[in-house]
Amino acid sequence: MYQHGKGVTHLSKVLFVQRRHLVIGAVLAALIVAASAYLRWGAAEAVSGAAGGTRTIHMVTGEFKTTTAEGKEIEAYRWDPGTIFVNRGERVRLSIYGVNGASHPFYIEGLNVRGEVVKGKETTVTFTANKEGTYRIICLSHTDIANSGPMIGYIVVD
């Protein structure tokens, strides 16, 4: 309302919003909600996987093979990865797939675990390491250089 000569002005404020601005705002709000839900779910999954469950660690048997300058073929077998890290008291399932070598009977020092990995098959063993230290996983077929070894891996418990 404007009154002439009195210096008083009253105007209504009206805000016009275009339809595309509403759509952009709705899309941005949906993205923020989705990102928040995803981040919360990921954090919950990480915590629940670590607490009280069994963690699976995948390994394979591998082979290095070459020929010396004299023409002699040499090879060495290994666990891959060669070193794994676990927490003290954590329940662990080793899933070992046989890629190279016909058979790898093995034991894990200090954990009372034994098994055999066969080419083309998966072997699983489960254990809980209750004491900190480094434990060796030792292949009984490849114990030294004369037997294409030593095929030794390490389990480090912190």
Kindly list the distances between the CA atom of residue 47 and the CA atoms of 39, 44, 55, 143, in Å, as whole numbers in the listed order: 13, 5, 12, 39
Phi, psi of 31, deg, nearest 5: -65, -40
The parts of the chain modelled with pLDDT lower than 50 are 42-50
What's the rounded Cα separation, in Å, for the pair 117 and 121?
A: 7
Give the chain's mean pLDDT: 84
Q: Is residue 66 part of a domain?
A: yes
pLDDT value of residue 123: 97
Helix (H, G, I), strand (E, B) or coil at 146: helix
In a domain, 95, yes or no: yes
**What pLDDT is recorded for position 24?**
77
In a domain, 127, yes or no: yes
Nearest to 155 by CA among 131, 143, 137: 137
Domain range for 88:
54-157
Residue 80: the pLDDT is: 97
SS3 80: strand
Query: Domain containing 106 — which CATH number?
Result: 2.60.40.420
Q: What angle do CA 119, 83, 85 make, to 5 degrees?
A: 120
Is residue 44, in this structure, part of any structural domain at all?
A: no
Nearest in space to 93 (alpha carbons), one of 70, 125, 68, 116: 125
Q: What CA–CA distance (Å, rounded) separates 32 from 136?
A: 48
Domain count, the chain: 1
Note whether residue 47 is domain-resident. no
Cα–Cα distance, 37 to 93 (Å, whole number): 30
Please report whether residue 73 resides in a domain: yes
Supply the pLDDT for residue 44.
42
